[in-house]
Amino acid sequence: MSWLLSLPLIIPFATAIAAFLVRGHASGRWISLTGSAIALAAAIALLMVVLDDGVIAGQMGGWPAPFGITLVADLLSAVMVLITAITAFAVAIYAFGDIDRRREELGYHALFQTLIAGVTGAFLTGDLFNLYVWFEVMLIASFGMLILGGEKEQIDGGVKYVALNLVSTLLFLSGIGLLYGMTGTLNLADLAQKVETIPNQGLLTAVAMMFMVGFGIKAAVFPLFFWLPASYHTPSFAVSAVFAGLLTKVGVYAMIRMFTMIFDHDIGFTHTILLWIAGFTMVTGVLGAASQGDFRKILSFHIISQIGYMILGLALMTPLALLGAVFYLVHHIIVKANLFLIAGIASRATGSTDLYRIGGLYASSPLLAVLFLIPAFSLAGFPPLSGFWAKYVLVKASLDAEFWFMAFIALAVGLMTIFSMTKIWAEAFWKPHPTNPDPALDQVPHRGALLLPVAGLAVLTMVIGLYPEPFVVFAERAAAQLLDPTAYITAVLGAAP
Amino acid sequence: MTSSFSRSWLSLAGLLPVAIATTLFILFLQAVPVIAAGRTLRQVWQWVPGLGVDLSFVIDGLSLTFALLISGIGALVMLYSARYLAGHVHQARFSLLLTSFMLAMLGLVLSDNLLTLFVFWELTTITSYLLIGFDHSAKKARRSALQALLVTGVGGLALLAAIILIGTTAGTFELSELRAMPAILTGSTLYLPILVLVLLAAFTKSAQMPFHFWLPNAMAAPTPVSAYLHSATMVKAGIYLLARMHPSLSGTDVWLWTLTIAGAVTTVFASIMAVRQTDLKLALAYTTLMALGALTLLLGNSTGYAITAAVTFLIVHSLYKAALFLVIGIVDHGTGTREVDRLSGLVRAMPVTAAAAAVAALSMAGFPPFLGFIGKELKYAGALAVASEPVLVAGAVLLSSALMFAVAGIVALRPFWGKAGDPPKPPKEGPWAMLLGPVVLAGLGAFFGIMPSVIATTLVNPTVTAILAEPGEAKPLLLWAGINLPLLLSIATFVLGAFLYALHRPLRRGLIWITQRTPSLDGGWDGFLAGVMAVCRWQTQLLQTGILRRYLFLTFATAFVAMAGTLVAKDAIDLPNLVPDVLPKHGMLFVLIFLGLALTVITQSRIAAIAGLGVVGIGIAMLFILFSAPDVAITQLLVETLIVVLFAAAALRLPHLPRGGSGWRFWDAMLALGLGVTTTAILLMVTASPVDRELTGFFEGASWPEAFGRNIVNVILVDFRALDTFGEIAVVLVAAIGAYALLKGTPERQKK
């Protein structure tokens, strides 16, 4: 099975190299698109196998765990790899209309594919230090993409992005060192067993906090999210879409993985803190969004707010709550990336993302209006769209656990989300354009390449919303694997001793 | 709008919705005999069994009555709209939205599963939002749409919470199963939260005080929308919810008093406000509020009289109100105004409209032999049957009915009779497609009044049975019930109403004077939103300052609090005794490292700071040597040298470090110290415990025989953990690409 696990990694790396070699040439975008398509096929194959056979593991270089590096795919990993591939494929199409020649010559496609490789690696690795390496790959590739174009605003955002993310790196690396010192292993499955034998469990909790803060920065939770609104509105739309969809979610994934499998020794302490973080993250994010007047800045703050929902699912730690967290992750990536892609189209049609300087899209571009409404209302949790089920499950999980206040926050934040989404709708779509009488979509060049991925992702949102059963069942199984990692550990280390 | 009666309005966009609505209406009609015979129809499809959600639909008296009103009035309104909006650039979108709304509303009243009901409930909210804002270039329309969305949105979220709690308490989302367990909710500890949430949902949707203010504003929508959504159907969704939950939630004092008081206050307030309006459409909007209040008030009770009254009044009101709204639309269409003072004597130019208006208004005013009379008699009977406070409740009904009488005169009498008025356009009769709706609806009000038995057994009785969850409670619908108290109250209503109508001009002036001097909730709305926005901006500026220094401080501070706080909270501090380990040569290295560190922190020269860091690095390398790890030490030395050289080369081109604010510097130092001490403490505790040598042992053992390398570090890097190295190589290459892009890609205008 090991080839199936490494394919989703090899393909984007190989694509990155090929795209870099032809970077001065227009074929780079085709190489990137082809690579993304193949990676998508590989991700589908991987998910099918995991669905049929359960958790699969591959020992890289043939060294048995826990001595070498293990790649592992359980349901959560496999679905994250798939959703990454879907996002990458959509953005690779979108790049045809969004990324100019200058950025291509500077190596956009290579950076993009490397980023995807880093994200995929983070989802697949079963080794703590290897996870750190993938975080590094992601960080450096994303930094390169962020500043590609070299506008002053981009550099400013890029510096804040990289400086704060380096703090995360520092904490993560220190945490790895300390955890290795306590257990003598880096293999996640091995760690899951060995942490139980550590005599000073309080010390383990303190080290766990290092991971919580480190991943918390990556996931952009309260009060560690500053880098995100500082940078996400500055790069190309394709870049901010792939960031918005994937980067913070790697942090959330790492948090879920570590705080279900490794740091589950003192849930009363760690997960109570996570609960508070979740509440504050939901609220501060949504309030921040309401105060903005720019299409992308509003969306950026909403990422934060919705990370709070996922952390809520983790913090409650019940089967239903984790089901909700997994469902939310998948739903959110599709919807959020799509909204950023739409922001790009709207900006091209109207000339800006500043909501007070644009308008008129509803009258001139009904297709774009519909394509916006689907993810926007889904984000706000309106039925029958994907976001409704995600929100419903998490609210139910909160109420079941008798955390009334968290349920209230989750619902109220939904209302504030609809407030922000209707602000975009009223300003960019309903309101007449202040200067241009007819801002039309059909004047946008390459609009086919821009609209196609948006439509595709919108259809996915609708499918999940209207036919959620298979996704719910899947998320339920994934949550069960998280709560009982026996299958994961057995797949990595062989039969339990 | 088109001025001549052309055939151009016969478009697919206009007529397809009519066909859909008519077909549905006919289908629902066929269910009438079945329901009248006391049966119910139920259909279930699986949807999300994983979450206990089925697409289950039920037709009983209650849902059938609503479904007939929705599809029947829908068909007439859609025919009207086809003509009303003919030639409008967005007619197709309008038809799509209105049809979607109708289907959502039907879904809502037919759902047997609470979550399915909720899905449709929210769909009506979204479609209503888009329809209120249909005239989207007007700021007022956008504001009204948002207001309606947010107010009803609050209710939607409350409903979702209520549904989850009901599901948890009763173990089912199916309404039919819920009704079979009478006391499951009223006897539960969660009864009060459930009730509050359900009432919040119903009151916001049906615009009960104090959530009423969005409804008059929703009149920014085109008239067919006002007629359909905001009088006949959607606003009754809240009433429907109250009726649907009646068997499970009613019968307690809280239910009785909340509904009675909210309903009474709303109905009296709204009927007074209706007299105040000069815009005919707004006057009608307030009479809708009045009707919703009356329905809420009646549903507070569980007596057969009250519920029969509620059901009858529901039907009466839908018929006359939709008719009158459509009439106002025709008047507006034909004369160019809805201002009551500019309209009179229209009967000569618009005889059919005037006749429809008159018949609808007589039903609204409660004259015999119209259905409105029966409805009013039943309301009095129902009010008097309220055991606790019959006088108060009947008084509220009397006052509001009298005011309704007056408003009916203002809306449907004044514009049509008397001498010719002064409209902007010469009045003109509407086309038949627009007249059909008001004529049919008004006519039905008269027909059902004369022949009440047509709806009594077929619709009213099964509906009352569904609301009370037991058969045989419905009271008869009679035009002549003998001389009794309700009849006397009716006569009193007419007298008082005629009196109020005669005085309505001075009354209106007085009310305008008062309302202009009292704060209104709608006026407070903008202030409320501005306040929310101010809080949002305040907290965002507090956190998202744009200053990297602050961000770093907060991030490190969080790390410090998290780690140090955990050590203290978990009582985990267990420091080993360090003294025996420290030798003089260690001490000297410590001093060296410390000096290098101090230089880095204090200096303002970048070069000196880098040199200081270099000293720290070399000191650490020497520590490695002391602890007999020469290979690691060599790597460390090489890296340190390289970093110092590279950084120094870069630093030569950079300005001196800025001097930080002195106030912050102190806290920076404190934080650095705290974080350093905490990390060191954790590190010391970790190293004090015995090391698990399983991995190290394996690497030592397998390095040469299996991996053919003598330098274990190298073998780890290129073999055991080659994937890490591969990743790090990618990092270095990508960093090079990034640096290249940064140097090469800066736009010319920024370089200078």
pLDDT at B647 > cutoff 50? yes
Quick: pLDDT tens for A161-188. 999 999 999 999 999 999 999 998 999 9
CATH number of the domain that residue B638 is part of:
1.20.120
User: Is A111 in the B-facing interface, judged by CB distances under 8 Å?
Assistant: yes
* CA separation for the pair A469, B347 (Å, rounded): 60
Assess whether B104 and B224 both reside in one domain. yes
B513: burial class by Cβ within 10 Å (0-12, 13-18, 19+)?
exposed
pLDDT at B6 over 50: no
* Domain final residue, candidates B218, B249, B280: B249
A251 and A276 assigned to the same domain? no
Predicted ipTM?
A: 0.93
Most confident of A274-283, B183-192, B244-253, B739-748: A274-283
Q: Are A198 and A219 in the same domain?
A: yes
Return d(Cα B652, Cα A176) in angstroms, integer: 35
Contact assessment for residue A79 and residue A326, using Cβ atoms and an 8 Å cutoff: yes
pTM of the model: 0.92
Which chain A positions have a beta carbon within 8 Å of B679's beta carbon? 174
Q: Half-sphere exposure (CA, 13 Å, Cβ side) for B461?
A: 20
Q: Do B544 and A226 touch (CB under 8 A)?
A: yes
Q: What is the mean pLDDT of the segment spanning A187-216?
A: 92
Task: Give the chain A residue nearest B740 (alpha carbons).
Answer: A106
Cβ within 8 Å, pair B544-A163: no
Residue B59 host element (H or E): strand B53-59
Is residue A115 situated within a structural domain? yes
Contact A390, A306 (CB under 8 A): no
Q: Check whether residue A40 and residue A7 sit in a common domain.
A: yes
Domain identity same for A50 and A199: yes
Distance CA B553, CA A445 (A): 45
Q: What is the C-alpha separation between B620 and B636, in angstroms, rounded?
A: 8
**Are residues B134 and B184 both part of a single domain?**
yes
Mean pLDDT for chain B overall = 86
Q: Are residues B745 and B650 in the same domain?
A: no
Q: Residue B534's closest chain A neighbor by CA?
A: A291
Task: Give B275-314 pLDDT, tens digit per residue.
Answer: 888 888 888 899 999 999 999 988 988 888 888 889 998 9
Using a pLDDT cut of 70, give the percent of chain B over it.
96
- Round the average pLDDT of chain A to a whole number and report it: 92
Statement: residue A412 has pLDDT above 50: yes
Determine the average pLDDT of the residues in A394-417: 93
Same domain, A211 and A276: no
> Do B147 and B190 reside in the same domain of the chain?
yes
Residue B451 included in any domain: no
B168 and B210 housed in the same domain: yes
Q: Are the C-beta atoms of residues B127 and B101 closer than 8 Å to each other?
A: yes
- Residues 22-61 of chain B with CB under 8 A from chain A are 46-51
> Can you spell out the DSSP letters for B565-618?
HHHHHTT---PPP-GGG--HHHHHHHHHHHHHHHHHHH-S-HHHHHHHHHHHHH
Q: So what's the pLDDT on residue B577? A: 72
The answer to whether the peptide bond before residue B580 is cis (omega within 30 degrees of 0) is no
Q: Is residue B374 situated within a structural domain?
A: no
Q: Phi and psi at residue B620, in whole multiples of 5°? A: -65, -40
Contact A66/B695, CB-based, under 8 Å?
Answer: yes
Interface contact B562-A213, CB threshold 8 A = yes
In this model, does residue B657 exceed pLDDT 80? no
- Residue whose pair of structure tokens reads 């690579």 in the numeric block: A35
- Residue in chain B closest to A111 (alpha carbons) equals B734
Q: What is the DSSP pairing of strand B53-59 with strand B41-48? A: antiparallel
Residue A481 falls inside a structural domain: no
Report pLDDT for A1.
Answer: 60
The pLDDT score that the predictor gives to residue B659 is 63
Q: Which of B234, B249, B264 corresponds to the end of one domain?
A: B249
- Residue A220: its pLDDT value, please? 94
Q: Measured between CA atoms, how close is A256 to chain B, in angstroms?
A: 18
Would the pLDDT of A213 be above 90? yes
Q: Which of A111, A137, A273 is nearest residue B731 as measured by Cβ atoms? A: A137
List CB contacts (< 8 A) between B132 and chain A: none
Q: Which residues numbered 72-91 in B keep a CB inside 8 Å of some CB on A?
A: 89-90
The single-letter DSSP state of residue B477 is -
Does B68 share its domain with B183?
yes
B536 touching A, CB under 8 A?
A: yes
**Residue A473 falls within a domain, yes or no?**
no
Q: Where is pLDDT greater, at B361 or B479?
A: B361
Q: Do A67 and A207 fall into the same domain?
A: yes
Percentage with pLDDT > 90 across chain B: 30
**B583 vs B586: CA distance, rounded Å:** 5
Q: Which residues contact B5 (CB under 8 A, 6 or more apart)?
A: B431
Which residues between 133 and 152 in chain B have a beta carbon less than 8 angstroms from any beta carbon of chain A?
A: 133, 136-137, 139, 142, 145-146, 149-150
Judge whether residue B180 has pLDDT over 90: no
Q: For helices B236-249 and B91-110, what crossing angle results, to 10°?
A: 10
Cα nearest neighbour of B197 on chain A? A408
Report the alpha-carbon distance of residue B456 to residue B575 in Å, rounded: 86
Contacts of A422 in chain B (CB under 8 A): 129, 145-146, 149
**Which pair of structure tokens corresponds to residue A107?**
């190596």
CB contacts of A414 in chain B (<8 Å) are 157
> What whole-number distance in Å separates Cα of residue A176 and Cα of residue A183?
10
Query: Is B497 part of a structural domain of the chain?
Result: no
Answer yes or no: is B472 within a domain: no
pLDDT number for residue B747: 62
Claim to verify: residue A433 and residue A291 sit in the same structural domain? yes
Instruction: List all residues of chain A from 427 to 456 with a beta carbon under 8 Å from chain B.
Output: 429-432
Domain count, chain B: 3
pLDDT at B658: 67
Retrieve residue B31's tokens: 């269910």
Q: Are residues B107 and B28 in the same domain?
A: yes
CA B224 to each of CA B135, B228, B327, B442: distance values in angstroms, whole numbers, following the listed order: 13, 6, 10, 16
| Closest to B104 (Cα-Cα) out of B237, B239, B231 | B237
d(CA A90, CA A464): 17
Asked, for residue B103, whether it belongs to a domain, the answer is yes
A133 to B129: CB separation less than 8 angstroms, yes or no: no
The answer to whether the CB atoms of A202 and B572 lie below 8 A apart is: yes
For the residues B553-559, what does the mean pLDDT come to?
A: 94
For residue A497, what pLDDT is reported?
A: 45
Q: Give yes or no for residue B97 having a pLDDT over 90.
A: yes
* Domain extent for B116: 1-249
Nearest to B297 by CA among B286, B314, B310, B313: B310
pLDDT beyond 80 at B387: no
CB A68, CB A492: distance < 8 Å: no
Is A290 close to B558, i.e. CB distance below 8 A? no
CB-nearest partner of B679 from A61, A174, A198: A174
Total tally of structural domains belonging to chain A? 2
Q: What's the token pair of residue A188? A: 């996640």
Structural domain including A337 reads 266-466
Same domain, A306 and A328: yes
Q: Are A261 and A485 in contact (CB under 8 A)?
A: yes
Pairing of strands A69-73, B41-48: unpaired
Q: Which residues in chain B have Cβ-Cβ distances shorter than 8 Å to A408?
A: 161
Query: Among A424-428, B103-107, B410-414, whose mean pLDDT is lowest?
Result: B410-414
B-proximal residues of A, 58-87, CB under 8 Å: 60-61, 63, 66-69
Q: Tell whether B556 lies on the interface with A, counting CB pairs under 8 A.
A: yes
Beta strand A56-60 pairing with B41-48: unpaired
pLDDT band at A66 (very low <50, low <70, confident <90, very high): confident
pLDDT tens profile A313-365: 999 999 999 999 999 999 999 999 999 999 999 999 888 888 898 988 888 88
What is the pLDDT at residue B660? 58
Q: Which of B165, B544, B746 is nearest residue A399 as measured by Cβ atoms?
A: B165
Instruction: Looking at the structure, tell me whether residues B672 and B725 fall in a common domain.
Output: no
**Nearest residue on chain B to A122, judged by CA atoms?**
B727
**pLDDT for res B3:** 41
Q: Are A154 and B750 in contact (CB under 8 A)?
A: no
Per-residue pLDDT of A22-49, as tens digits, reads 887 888 899 999 999 999 999 999 999 9
Q: Supply φ then ψ for residue A125, to 5 degrees.
A: -75, 145
Residue A356 near chain B (CB below 8 Å):
no
Pick from B142, B558, B682: CB nearest A213: B558
- The terminus-to-terminus CA distance of chain B in angstroms comes to 60
The sign of the CA dihedral B720, B724, B727, B731 is negative
Instruction: Among A234, A265, A296, give the residue marking a domain's end.
Output: A265
Flag whether A471 is in a domain.
no
Q: What band does B743 get if pLDDT is binned at 50, 70 and 90?
A: confident
**Strand, helix or coil at B469?**
coil
Considering the domain architecture, whether residues A102 and A248 belong to the same structural domain is answered as yes
**B670 & B746 share domain:** no
pLDDT-derived band at B661, boundaries 50, 70, 90: low
DSSP string, B676-703: HHHHHHHHHHHHHSPPP-HHHHHHHHHT
pLDDT-derived band of residue B749, with 50, 70 and 90 as boundaries?
A: very low
| Residue B355 or B745, more confident | B355
pLDDT of residue B579: 61
Are residues A431 and B136, on separate chains, in Cβ contact within 8 Å? yes
Tokens 């826990």 — which residue? A66
Asked whether the beta carbons of residue B543 and residue A66 sit closer than 8 angstroms, the reply is no
> B249, B274, B289 — which closes off a domain?
B249
Q: Is residue B577 part of a domain?
A: yes
Least confident of A30-44, A82-96, B434-448, B500-514: B500-514
Is the residue at B612 inside a domain?
yes
Chain A residue with CA closest to B571: the answer is A202
Do B682 and B730 fall into the same domain? no
Higher pLDDT, A171 or B706: A171
A248 and A377 in a single domain? The answer is: no
Of A134, A213, A230, the CB nearest to B727: A134
**Is the pLDDT confidence value at B5 over 50?**
no
Residue B134: which of B103, B77, B88 has the closest Cα? B88
Same domain, yes or no: A5 and A113: yes
Mean pLDDT throughout B327-340?
Answer: 86
Residue A130 is assigned to a structural domain of this protein = yes
How far is the CA of B141 from the CAs of A185, A376, B198, B469, B682, in angstroms?
64, 20, 29, 42, 61
What is the Cα–Cα distance from B163 to B175, expressed in whole angstroms?
11
Indicate if B614 and B747 belong to the same structural domain. Answer: no
> Residue B2 pLDDT > 60, yes or no?
no
In a domain, A203, yes or no: yes
Question: pLDDT tens digits, residue range B201-259?
Answer: 999 999 998 888 899 888 888 889 988 988 778 889 999 999 999 999 988 889 988 99
Span of A209-223, B77-91, B686-700 with lowest mean pLDDT: B686-700
Say yes or no for a CB contact (<8 Å) between B679 and A183.
no
- DSSP characters over B407-421: HHHHHHTTTTSSS--
On whether both A252 and A305 belong to a single domain, the answer is no
In a domain, A270, yes or no: yes
Are the CB atoms for B599 and B611 separated by under 8 Å? yes
Secondary structure of chain A in the HEC alphabet?
CHHHHHHHHHHHHHHHHHHHHCCCCCHHHHHHHHHHHHHHHHHHHHHHHHHHHCCEEEEECCCCCCCCEEEEECHHHHHHHHHHHHHHHHHHHHHHHHCCHHHHHCCHHHHHHHHHHHHHHHHHECEHHHHHHHHHHHHHHHHHHHHCCCCHHHHHHHHHHHHHHHHHHHHHHHHHHHHHHHHCCCEHHHHHHHHHHCCCHHHHHHHHHHHHHHHHHHHCCCCCCCHHHHHCCCCCHHHHHHHHHHHHHHHHHHHHHHHHHHCCCCHHHHHHHHHHHHHHHHHHHHHHHHCCCEHHHHHHHHHHHHHHHHHHHHHHCCHHHHHHHHHHHHHHHHHHHHHHHHHHHHHHHHCCCEHHHCCCHHHHCHHHHHHHHHHHHHHCCCCCCHHHHHHHHHHHHHHHCCCHHHHHHHHHHHHHHHHHHHHHHHHHHHCCCCCCCCCCHHHCCCHHHHHHHHHHHHHHHHHHHHCCHHHHHHHHHHHHHHHCCHHHHHHHHCCCC
Q: Do residue B223 and residue B87 come from a single domain?
A: yes
> Which residue is closest to A388 within chain B, CA to CA?
B119
Chain A residues within 8 A of B562 when measuring between CB atoms:
209-210, 212-213, 273
Across A219-228, B652-661, B679-688, least confident range: B652-661
Within a domain: residue A485?
no
Decide if B412 is inside a domain: no
Q: Which of B730, B740, B725 is closest to A17 using CA atoms?
A: B730
Is A393 in contact with B50 (Cβ distance < 8 A)? no
Residue B635, pLDDT score: 81
Q: How far apart are CA B680 and CA A96, in angstroms?
A: 51
